[in-house]
Structure 1
């Protein structure tokens, strides 16, 4: 990259911001005296005012975007908010411009407001083939400062109208976006995120744009406002932030020229289906018997049972082809895959489609977007939203989703990256449609502990563990790749117990379960003749994963989840139960989850039972406080439960 000084003196004379100046920008003494934000005590900075104005210039016909911001620095970690970056895109014949960059820092010194303006030498450009990155740094920024910045960009690229992000890493008191869009530009407009608009006004402005030969265009003038917007803070159990960050996006649908011509840019799904049918990387790679002729052994082709046959074909692909870790939808060649035995997800799964369809199965590819790639828009077709393909097959009236990239998945299981709500099923005969992608069954983790002997102040017993579905995948992989390392890591996992023997039971990497058994010894805590024992030799949750004051996006586990734990203590003649924890039965709203904890004695067996179940794969943000309280109870129970026994 080439680093050079931006010619600030030239740009400062190019435009004036007087017409878009807003009285909210001046910095008041109360702004400077602010020390915290009541609604978010952890905020590093607070955006007091965020303003945008986008319109097409009446003389140049470029898209002009005017930006103004006022930000309060609350903590040391927020000082870097005084560093700005603006990306300007470059095309073959044009590039975006930035103009009239202004910035200032305000501090309170000895009770007086001191303003320090940004100088030209604080503005730089980094230039590469695809874009120009403009950077500028405001002076004298520290905790307590208020900074203001304004600039304008010019762009000839109207295919994507300037989006607007209401939400970012800091809370925002007020965010306003104004647009003026000529009627000859028709955009699909999408509001992303779950935060409602405070203001959404639209009006028609006549003859807002004048072109040569007396042509005029009306404009749709819009104003969007959000207030008191919480920061977007990343936390576990979610997909990419792009799914949920509050913003407005635009996708150009069509352009109407002044001579009456209409250029249609966006497509219908019927158009896309036709395009995909003839696509050399997709349609021409599907249901082609010639691509897989004589590939399957005759023993597989001879299987009569449909489900068994489909499973065997699926396993054939897993055993003979390896995924290269790539997702690309382009340069797909099943012919090359058959030669190299290594290929992309598209190549491997479309090979599986060919093998299944060649044996008479009704199977469909499902285009989808992975969790890290974001949700595909349903408003209009955008093929670039899709970065992955899986298959749907129906056998004996039951649907199965298939992906042959991972040898540790069972038939009908998808990689976790594919649990992203829905995809587009491609049916070239009857037309494509949206297909929900849901995991029906719970994935579970179960531990059954039995302490059957107490001699010389030491308990002896066994732990039997069963992991199913998504809890089993990684364990199967780790064990299969290095059994010795796996066993050693298991021994090091439990610091409070001694493992005397470890055994994995009936290992099969294609099975949806992973089962193991360990023999243990445990030395409990003694005070006098009393034994104090935390019954949770294995803890599911060391801490509450939900820590935010407010979360505006869903809690996405990907699948339904269940944890169960049982401890059985055989009480010999010398052991007497003195004290046990209280029982708990706690539920999430709408029967969406349950936490059960119970201790009971029957004859000479003391049984501890613990169960946590999350019965939704995805919880709406409204559940967040409920989930936080729920998990607090779970973690507290695991950490602080004590059984008191007396050794007589």
Structure 2
């Protein structure tokens, strides 16, 4: 036996070294800016935003919100030339629309060691009208690889509810981004910083009497300066939710207006206010815990079940079997009464029906408003009802909590669709007040393959494959099997191309469990050279390639759930085979014992056994784990792709 090698992957410390290259952090373009051809911290960058400046304030005369924008960008690759086309959306309202003025732009190129400037022409500025906004587009001239472009403009708006948000991060790296604001005290905003990148500068001061009106009215202003430096590009990659959760930016939500005469207008509300409104809301609160809505809906054979958990499961299955989800999330025009009649409805309607059925049978049930993974995390700082687009339930049975959603037939009792795994939601308790509830999946989702190869014959190996998929790894298979069992069986021929499938059986379709199991009988023809057999033991691979490829990732790795992958292969060598060469075992551990990879080999009584297991003990890993996870997955993929067992015919 080969001695097992253990590796502990430690955190990689990112050290910013002093770069020989030096870009000028201002709007002035120098020869140095033009001569430089790369950005050392991101060799794949299409462009580098050298300088990004914004200044927003309320105009003293018009009271319009004014925002001045300036940018200086270096074009590094062909794909970055598109940044020479700038688009700005100006939103329209019922009585007002945003405006733009003073659009200026210049392209700088280095020709014969001289800086050549080409100005933006008025004829290169275009406008496209839409029902909701005006799209202003301008095209900078003579932009090519190596160019530096600068542009500036000023927008004006009467829409102050959101003030002017500022995006520090973009799809290209940013050397320096500065945002300045001047907010009169008559406007009180909730301010939210999104993303994991810290501010380099966060200066706030007070300016007295910055805004004055007739009759002696005046207001002080809060003057703020926010700066971020060396901002990595936001590059989308797998295992995450919507980009909007993590792109570094600053946002505003108007909380209160204090008029010059002392009157106050409360704009945003507290959760106490929202709870009161939702309790009497015709689309929500007035359809919660209303026995009259589900009178005579539940069959007597279900109502008569004495065991509380069995009855709850039967009620849940009843809804799954008799009511179909129309794939809509709508929170408005909700009618449980119509759902009972039509047998089809939205997620809100189906889950409110389930809530009413469970409540009518004496269960303690709470509606839980959530934001799905594709929409973004709900704001916790203040209530924003538009953040929530979905409804699930929390039911308490024998002091144990269960999260329920009755929209998908492949879900087992206590399971949620993957779209719902978005960290937390707002639990609506109309008696004691709503509160934030974490949505945590405690159980591991697993895939397990057990393969046995019988004694070698002249045609290769005969084999038996038993596979078990649990929870989230089983959902797609359960759904596919329910839709068409034969299509699923046929797809395995394409999935497992290294074997010839002779027989395929579904052992457990998962309709009454959280699992899906199948059994396959197959033949395998390994590579033969003379009397030697070369066999990659990974007939099935969990990961064909490493999903983590970025140089740097600033947002979490969000699997949604904890999971585990197990692969066991046994080969009956019999009397006609012997082992010539075996791979080396491995044991790799993620930082803080948050995951592991084990690969072992054993030879006992002519049975060669290989054991491979990858386990992730966290549903969400912070970006500080990224380098370790990338190295971890490199080892996992390398083991699957490059492992070879060499046998010899005796």
State the TM-score bracket (shorter-chain normalisation): over 0.9
Distance in 2, Cα, partners of 1:634 & 1:157: 52
Pairing 1:610–2:615 present: no
Q: Residue in 2 aligned with 1:4?
A: none
Work out which of the residue numbers 173, 185, 188 in structure 1 matches 2:187.
185
Assess if the C-alpha contact under 8 Å between 2:126 and 2:136 holds in 1: yes
Q: Residue in 1 aligned with 2:583?
A: 581
Distance in 1, Cα, partners of 2:435 & 2:118: 58
Q: Residue in 2 aligned with 1:432?
A: 434
* TM-score normalised by L of structure 1: 0.96
Assess if the C-alpha contact under 8 Å between 1:169 and 1:231 holds in 2: yes
Distance in 2, Cα, partners of 1:52 & 1:327: 37
Distance in 2, Cα, partners of 1:212 & 1:478: 70
Assess if the C-alpha contact under 8 Å between 1:171 and 1:230 holds in 2: yes
Q: Residue in 2 aligned with 1:266?
A: 268
Q: Residue in 2 aligned with 1:73?
A: 75
Assess if the C-alpha contact under 8 Å between 1:444 and 1:471 holds in 2: yes
SS at match of 1:646: strand
Post-superposition Cα deviations, 1:351-398, rounded to whole Å, max 9, x if no partner, equal 100010011100000000000000001111111110000000011111
Q: Residue in 1 aligned with 2:206?
A: 204
Distance in 2, Cα, partners of 1:385 & 1:507: 36
Alignment of 1:57-72 (within 5 A): 57-72=59-74
* TM-score normalised by L of structure 2: 0.96
Q: Residue in 2 aligned with 1:129?
A: 131
Distance 1:23 1:198, change over 3 A: closer
Distance in 2, Cα, partners of 1:508 & 1:385: 34
Q: CA deviation at 1:480?
A: 2.0
Distance 1:408 1:281, change over 3 A: same
Distance in 2, Cα, partners of 1:234 & 1:241: 7
Post-superposition Cα deviations, 1:149-206, rounded to whole Å, max 9, x if no partner, equal 1000001111111000000100000000000000111111010000000000011011
SS at match of 1:563: strand
Pairing 1:373–2:375 present: yes
SS at match of 1:453: coil
Work out which of the residue numbers 492, 500, 505 in structure 2 matches 1:503.
505
Q: Residue in 2 aligned with 1:160?
A: 162
Post-superposition Cα deviations, 1:499-553, rounded to whole Å, max 9, x if no partner, equal 1111111324242100001011111112221111111010100000000000000
Alignment of 1:463-502 (within 5 A): 463-502=465-504
Q: Residue in 1 aligned with 2:394?
A: 392
Q: Residue in 1 aligned with 2:563?
A: 561
Work out which of the residue numbers 220, 223, 227 in structure 2 matches 1:221.
223
Structure 1, unmatched stretches of 5+, are: 1-21
Alignment of 1:34-433 (within 5 A): 34-433=36-435
Distance in 2, Cα, partners of 1:535 & 1:175: 52
Assess if the C-alpha contact under 8 Å between 1:453 and 1:461 holds in 2: no
Assess if the C-alpha contact under 8 Å between 1:201 and 1:224 holds in 2: yes
Q: CA deviation at 1:418?
A: 0.2
Distance in 1, Cα, partners of 2:561 & 2:284: 29
SS at match of 1:213: helix
Q: CA deviation at 1:33?
A: 1.1
Q: CA deviation at 1:633?
A: 0.2
Between 1:627-636 and 1:97-106, the stretch displaced more is: 97-106
Post-superposition Cα deviations, 1:76-120, rounded to whole Å, max 9, x if no partner, equal 111111111111111121111001111111111121111111111
Q: CA deviation at 1:567?
A: 0.2
SS at match of 1:455: coil
Distance in 1, Cα, partners of 2:73 & 2:508: 61
Distance in 1, Cα, partners of 2:533 & 2:510: 41
Distance in 2, Cα, partners of 1:459 & 1:154: 74
Assess if the C-alpha contact under 8 Å between 2:191 and 2:251 holds in 1: yes
Q: CA deviation at 1:223?
A: 0.3
Work out which of the residue numbers 445, 450, 457 in structure 1 matches 2:452.
450
Assess if the C-alpha contact under 8 Å between 2:234 and 2:247 holds in 1: yes
Alignment of 1:522-601 (within 5 A): 522-601=524-603
Assess if the C-alpha contact under 8 Å between 1:409 and 1:510 holds in 2: no
Between 1:65-74 and 1:138-147, the stretch displaced more is: 138-147
Q: CA deviation at 1:23?
A: 8.1
Give the CA RMSD over aligned residues: 1.0
SS at match of 1:374: coil
Assess if the C-alpha contact under 8 Å between 1:408 and 1:510 holds in 2: no
Q: CA deviation at 1:457?
A: 4.4
Distance in 2, Cα, partners of 1:211 & 1:58: 9
Assess if the C-alpha contact under 8 Å between 1:345 and 1:388 holds in 2: yes
